[in-house]
């Protein structure tokens, strides 16, 4: 088969299956950006294996299976990246050496704002208990914590 025929085959294969593969990738749980990358990767592989693909009895099925393998590999590689227990890192900072959260928070926060963040993130207090102590609804307590986090990020330049 000539190079022109191979290019024509790949071009037709791409135009007929690109959208289908992106939809399949989304159905497998990939976000749209990753889905486009996965499909691109599959067609790069297809160009490298065009001689095998031309002779294959079901090129669309081959592409779909390659996509399935690509997504599974991506999940496997990225699922273990951050799934480590905090106990594994326990020796890095001894509790007695850790600085209290109130000392790390921006000085521009009021004492009341610092107290709310300490309750939530140092004492791991739930919203129900915090809202009871503050005399506000649980929903408003969540909003307050969210706004305080945003304010902290802005003050810390994060």
3-79: CATH number = 1.10.1740
Handedness of CA 153, 137, 125, 123 (dihedral sign): positive
pLDDT value of residue 90: 53
Q: Do domains 3-79 and 98-156 have the same CATH topology?
A: no
Model confidence pLDDT, tens digit, residues 12-36: 999 888 888 888 887 777 777 888 8
Architecture per CATH, domain 98-156, reads as Orthogonal Bundle (1.10)
Model confidence pLDDT, tens digit, residues 103-145: 788 889 999 999 998 898 888 889 999 999 999 999 999 999 9
Q: Could you tell me the end-to-end alpha-carbon distance of the chain, in angstroms, rounded to an integer?
A: 57
pLDDT value of residue 157: 76
pLDDT value of residue 89: 52
pLDDT value of residue 87: 56
Confidence category of residue 8, pLDDT binned at 50, 70, 90: very high
Tokens describing residue 157: 């330049």
Q: How far apart are CA 78 and CA 101, in angstroms?
A: 31
Q: How far apart are CA 70 and CA 64, in angstroms?
A: 10
CA 32 from centre of chain: 12
CA dihedral 135, 139, 142, 143 (to 10 degrees): -100
DSSP one-letter code for 155? H
Model confidence pLDDT, tens digit, residues 44-93: 999 999 999 999 999 999 999 999 899 888 888 776 555 555 555 555 54
- Name the average pLDDT for the chain: 83
CB atoms within 10 A of CB 32: 10
pTM: 0.49
Task: Domain ranges for the chain, please list them.
Answer: 3-79, 98-156
Tokens describing residue 5: 């025929």
């Amino acid at each position: 088969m000539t190079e022109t025929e191979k290019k024509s085959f790949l071009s037709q294969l791409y135009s007929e299956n690109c959208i289908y593969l992106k939809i399949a990738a989304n159905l497998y749980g990939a976000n749209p950006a990753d889905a486009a990358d996965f499909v691109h990767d599959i067609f790069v592989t297809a160009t490298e294996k065009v001689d095998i693909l031309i002779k294959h009895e079901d090129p669309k099925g081959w592409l779909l299976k390659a996509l399935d393998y690509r997504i599974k590999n991506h999940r496997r590689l990225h699922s273990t990246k951050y799934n480590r227990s905090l106990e594994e890192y326990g020796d890095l900072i001894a509790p007695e050496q850790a600085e209290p959260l109130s000392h790390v928070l921006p000085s521009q926060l009021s004492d009341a704002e610092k107290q709310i963040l300490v309750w939530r993130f140092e004492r791991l207090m739930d919203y129900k208990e915090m809202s009871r102590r503050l005399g506000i609804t649980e929903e408003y307590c969540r909003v307050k914590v969210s706004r305080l986090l945003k304010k902290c990020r802005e003050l810390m330049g994060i």
